[in-house]
Structures are given as structure tokens and as C-alpha cells.
Copies of this chain bind each other. A is one copy, B any other.
Amino acid sequence: MKPVYLEDGELKLIDQTKLPTEFIVHSYTDYRKIAKAIVDMIVRGAPAIGVTAGYGVYFGALEYQNEPKDVFYDKMKEVCELLASTRPTAVNLFWAIKRMEDVMAANVDKEPAQLVAILKDEAQAICAEDIQMCRDMGKHGAELIHQNDTILTHCNAGALATADYGTALGVIRAAHEAGKNISVYADETRPFLQGARLTAYELHADGIPVTLITDNMAGWMMKLGKIDGVIVGADRIAANGDVANKIGTYSVSVLAKAHGIPMYVAAPTSTIDFAMKSGDEIVIEQRDCREISHICGIQVAPDGVAMENPAFDVTPHQNVTAIITEKGVVYPPYDINIPKLKEFPS
């Protein structure tokens, strides 16, 4: 299930705000509309946002390819700034834009029209590499999942959050494909309900047994002995192993620790912010409180009541059993083992 791909010269995005009851694919060629699709969470999930932003830069170049070179570079600066302004927490977004910018910088001698082809190739490479990274993460992570395990996951770190296959759900897919008889509990993940709408949807579609629960049931399911492990994705990982991920991940990590259940994070190394010492520095996106007061457009909270809507929280590295990357599984001490990943061949 590919949520973002290039086809017939258009960027295609599965509208993830309409799942699971409607399957709609939108087409884009305007980088402004691509940026808005990220803001509106038509596409979401840190890796998928990165892939989308890469294509966004390409469509910007396509639009301005007939401008004089200096105008072209000015315009491309605007394109990259707009795309980077869409969401603040997922590091893959900035990573992908930086990669496109680096390609432009390395080809500054070329004419804009030539650059367009190079940028298209780079965006396609980001997309293809993302799928390969998910497959590699799956291979490494599947080793941590045992026969008959029941795994809790939060939010959607699945095919729909990547170019395909998924990070946390990629690990689950790989274990399932390896013949392990596993099942999944999916937190519904308010306010955006990614667990109910997306994780339950894509696992069910793939025939992997999944049970949907509300977020506040996770601890009770652990208490009842129904959960053997937790796997989640990540939007940014600091150099010390602190993990920013969907709001609620922190609570799940505390609950897992209290019940002696391993807590795994699956994310490509592009999610690691090697320059960031700890999670304290991570900017947490605050989203519109209407996501809480209204569900599917229906008002569920009284007018005039204060609300908070942080989109993410930070799980301290002490609560993370291991981090599953495309290069292998990283264990504590993270402040020593994470920097080593930089030297590890891709």
C-alpha cells in the first residue's frame, strides 16, 4: 500500500483523512498544494512526509525551470522554505529537503531544465530508498518478535506512514511473513485516530490479526497479560536516544516499563537528529484544538473550554529497550551507540 508515488507526471497521495471508509487518491503538480496536503495531514507519518517533500521540491523546479538561473534559485529557496514550514517535529522532512538542496548545490553549473531531471531522480531515489529501509528494518526487527507474541502499537507507523511497508508495522509484517503467529493491539490514537483509521485498516487488509482499543485501555491490556511487546515509530530521535513520536507514546512507554514489557522504536537513520543532544530540544507541534473538540466534524466538547493539543511527546531513552534501524538494532547506551550509526555503511 503506497501512500505517495509518482505516476503519469503527477504526485499521487492517498487521502489519509478519508480512510477507512473512503479510499481516495489525489493528484498534485503544484508544490503549494503539496505543502498544504502535508499541513492538512492528507499525507502523514515522518518518512512519508519526507518522501512527499522531496517530490514537492521537484515539482517546484518543474514550475520554475524556464526562469533565468538566478530567479530559479531564488524561487527554489521559496519552495524549500514553504515545504519546510509545513510541520515542525518530523526530522525526515528537513532531511529530505536538505538532500534536494544538496543536489542543487552540487549541480550549480547546470541549467535549471537539466536540474529538473536530476531532482526528479533524487526524489525517486528517496522514495525507493525509503521502501528498502523499511524492508531492512523489518528484517532486523523481526528477530525481536517471538512466536505467538501479541504486539501493541500506537498511531500508524505503517505502509501509510512511509513510501511502503512501514517502520513499526514493517517489523510486524516481516515477522508475519517469516511465519510467526503474531497478533497486534492497535491504540486508536486520539485525536486523529491514526490507529483506528489507518493501522487497523492496513493490518486487516494484509490479513494480520489486529484488535482495536481506545488509548486508555493499553495499560489494562498489559495488566491482563495480553501484551508481549510494544513497537512504535518515531518522528525524531535525539543523539541520546530520546524519541519524539505521536502523543501518547510517552504514556505507553511508562506503562510498558511498569509491566516489564519491552518497548521498541522502529525508524530509519534519517529520523535521527545526530546534532541534537537530547529530546529536551525537540520542538513539539501544537495543533488546532478543533481536533479535540470535534470528531469527524461533530462537536463533542462544550464551547469555551480550554484545550491542549500537542501532536507529539518525547519518550526518554531510559524507557526505550532498543531502536530498530535499517542498519541494525541499536541498544543502550544510546549516547555511545547512536553516533556509531553515522560511520556504519548504508
A190 to B218, CA, bound (A): 12
Residues of B within 8 A of A243 (CB): none
The CA of A70 and the CA of B293, in the complex, are separated in Å by: 54
Complex interface bits, A290-307 against B, C-beta within 8 A gives 1, otherwise 0:
001101111111111111
Residues of chain B lying within 8 A (CB to CB) of residue A216? 154, 187, 189-190, 215-216, 247-248, 251-252
How many angstroms from the CA of A76 to the CA of B161 in the assembled complex? 59
- Selecting from A54-62, A101-109, A197-205, the interface stretch reads A197-205
| C-alpha spacing A169/B60, complex, angstroms | 55
Q: Is A248 a contact partner of B308 (Cβ separation < 8 A)?
A: no
A214 within 8 A of B: yes
Cα–Cα, bound, A210→B306 (Å): 6
Q: Is the CB of A211 within 8 A of B258?
A: no
B220–A250 contact, CB under 8 A? yes
Copies of this chain in the oligomer: 2
Are A211's CB and B308's CB within 8 A? yes
Q: Which residues of B contact A296 (CB under 8 A)?
A: 295-296, 298, 300
Q: Which residue of B lies closest to A301 (CB)?
A: B196
CA of A200 to CA of B218 in the docked complex: distance in angstroms?
24
From B204, B292, B298, B303, A304 is in contact (CB under 8 Å) with: B204
Binding site for B on A (CB under 8 A): 19-21, 154, 187-191, 193, 196-197, 200-201, 204, 209-221, 223, 247-248, 250-252, 254-255, 257-258, 292-293, 295-308, 310, 313
List 19 additional contacts besides A188-B300, A189-B216, A216-B247; criterion CB under 8 Å.
A21-B302, A188-B190, A188-B301, A190-B216, A197-B302, A201-B305, A204-B304, A204-B305, A211-B308, A212-B292, A212-B305, A213-B292, A214-B215, A214-B248, A216-B216, A258-B258, A295-B295, A296-B298, A297-B298
